[in-house]
Structure 1
Amino acid sequence: QMKTAYDAGVNFFDNAEAYENGKSETIMGEVIQKAGWKRSDLVLSTKIFWGGEGPNDQGLSFKHIKEGTEAALKRLQTDYVDLIFCHRPDLHTPIEETVWAMNQMINKGKALYWGTSEWNADQIRKAYDFAKENNLRPPLMEQPEYNMFRRDKVESDFTSLYEDIGLGTTIWSPLASGLLTGKYNDGVPEGSRLDLEKYSWLRKKLLESEEGRAKLEKVKKLASVSDDLGV
């Protein structure tokens, strides 16, 4: 899949230490090495927060950011990532420590830029202001969930951040975990992600909860509209 994407012109590949407990990063690193792609042609990102079950393997403390980043680079078989994200806000670690720790990763050449994922506007603003006040590199990008069901944060909450600090975005779940494709309109197809036992929690959330069923009904209505339009 990565080769197909690369051959089609895609050169930005995102990952996280939490994906399959690091196996996703390992596979990505192996694919890149096997393909022989030039590192300078690629934009690689990873996300730090959930690194394991140990007492210091999670969160955004300097200790975990340092150890998590170094472990991720080993799995990816690269000296640096272009972008490193704080995978979630850490309510148990001062934002000031996280900003400083991310700057340490940049200063040591382990990352080029840093950003956030699923932070709210106030948290991003606080991190940005602290960085600027202390001559540190501020967060430059946020990775929020953004799709037809989740629009407020990107289209409303972050408006001032785009204008004031030039915040950039990448997004996750643009198809609402596949719900917006329509493939779950008539049940769960065999071999699909929601058919896997390890994603039973997601299946319950998307298809069996009250909120999920309401979304599914909206998707079905949209499907009839797209059919009429032939798109």
Structure 2
Amino acid sequence: MIGLAHAVLNAFVEAGSNFIDTADLYSVWGEGHEGGESEKISVNGSPLATTATRSSSRPKLGGLPTRPGLSADNVEATLDESLKRLQTDYVDPYYAHYDDENVAIIGQLKHANSLVESGKVKHIALSNFDPARMLEWFETAKAKGPTLPVAIQPHYNLIHRADFENAYKAIVDEFDVAAFPYFALASGLLTGKYRSKEDIQGKARQGFAEDLITDDALKVVEAVVEIAEARGVEPATVQLAWLLADGKAVTAPAASASTSDQLPTLMADR
């Protein structure tokens, strides 16, 4: 597994890219895993992968079942553990992976300020906050400062559009914040390799993708495949180009690759 991960990372860096998405939660769902594997693997053994990950990792914290929530003590502990796994003394940015409604936004802001002041975190970013709480975070940070989030990570793709377009985009526009959508390829559905509900059965992504495979979603997939065939590109390239089209307010999508052979499709000129 480590060798394959390094092959992907090395090819990714050699192609000129510099954004690696990790989380303490990844990959706790795997048999025998406890979380933090993506951070450990990223810096374990390959000089190129190690250098890239230390300078380019965007870790998300607070979602690990053994370290849940955004209390001050938990945030400090999870950050120190991730820094140790990543073999670095700071990250830029640090993402709050999930909101913690037991911690008031003003409390979260104070914790974030202290992390930045410590030098362990250069900037703050947010993921998986509902729009109202996220807006409160930004408004409170703007009024009380000094730590205003620099990025958000919403769920956004051709199948899952309403949340971003009806709520999060307004935050991006108002506060001039970067947006790095996750599930950019809908857990592989928008690559065109799953064309029916039966296609996902027994596959590694079944747990993520099977709930997405509705009749309407499959119609979207067929349309993407049709456009890709007409243009002589892969469906994934069409989906990523759509996310980056003018007016979408997307800085860059987060897309997964399991082999280095998949990278040219994900990084094709748009």
TM-score (norm 2): 0.72
Q: 1:171 is matched with which residue?
A: 181
Q: Calculate the aligned-residue CA RMSD, in Å.
A: 2.5
Matched residue type, 1:216 = L
Deviation at residue 222 of structure 1 after TM alignment: 3.6
Please say if residues 65 and 102 of structure 1, whose CA atoms lie closer than 8 Å, have aligned partners that are also in contact.
no
> For each residue in 1:180-217, what CA deviation from the matched residue of structure 2 results, as whole angstroms up to 9, or x when unmatched?
11111165489xxx623xx543354244xxxx343124
Distance 1:13 1:138, change over 3 A: same
Query: How many Å apart are 1:6 and its aligned residue?
Result: 0.0
Matched, 1:10 2:20: no
User: In the alignment, which residue of structure 1 is the partner of 2:148?
Assistant: 138
Structure 2: distance between partners of 1:226 and 1:135: 46
- Equivalent residue number for residue 62 of structure 2: 49
Amino acid at match of 2:138: Y
The aligned amino acid for 2:211 is K
Structure 1 residue 106: Cα displacement: 1.1
Larger RCO (CA under 8 A, 6+ residues apart): 2
User: Which of the residues 44, 64, 69 maps onto 1:30?
Assistant: 44
Q: Measure, in 1, the Cα distance between the counterparts of 2:152 and 2:162.
A: 14
The match for 2:203 is 195
Query: After alignment, is 99-108 or 120-129 more displaced?
Result: 120-129
Shift in CA distance, 131/206, structure 1 to aligned 2, threshold 3 Å: closer
Structure 1 unaligned residues grouped into runs of 5+: none
Q: For residues 127-173 of structure 1, what are the alpha-carbon distances to aligned partners after superposition, in whole Å with 9 as ceiling and x for unaligned? A: 12222333331222110011101223333323432333212111111
The one-letter code sitting in structure 1 at the alignment partner of 2:203 is D
Separation in 1, partners of 2:68, 2:200: 35
Other-structure match for 1:19: 26
Q: Which moved more, 1:25-34 or 1:70-79?
A: 25-34
| Secondary structure, counterpart of 1:147 in structure 2 | coil
Matched residue SS, 1:26: helix
Q: State the AA in 2 paired with 1:195.
A: K
Change (3 A) 1:86 1:43: same
CA distance in 1, matches of 2:58, 2:69: 18
The 5 Å alignment of 1:66-215 reads 66-185=76-195, 187-188=198-199, 195-196=203-204, 199-207=205-213, 212-215=214-217
User: Segments of 4+ in structure 1 off by > 6 A?
Assistant: none
1:34 & 1:222 partners in 2: Cα distance? Answer: 35
- Counterparts of 2:232 and 2:149, CA distance in 1: 42
The total of aligned residue pairs comes to 218
Residue range with higher mean Cα deviation, 173-182 or 113-122: 113-122
Structure 1 counterpart SS, 2:44 = helix
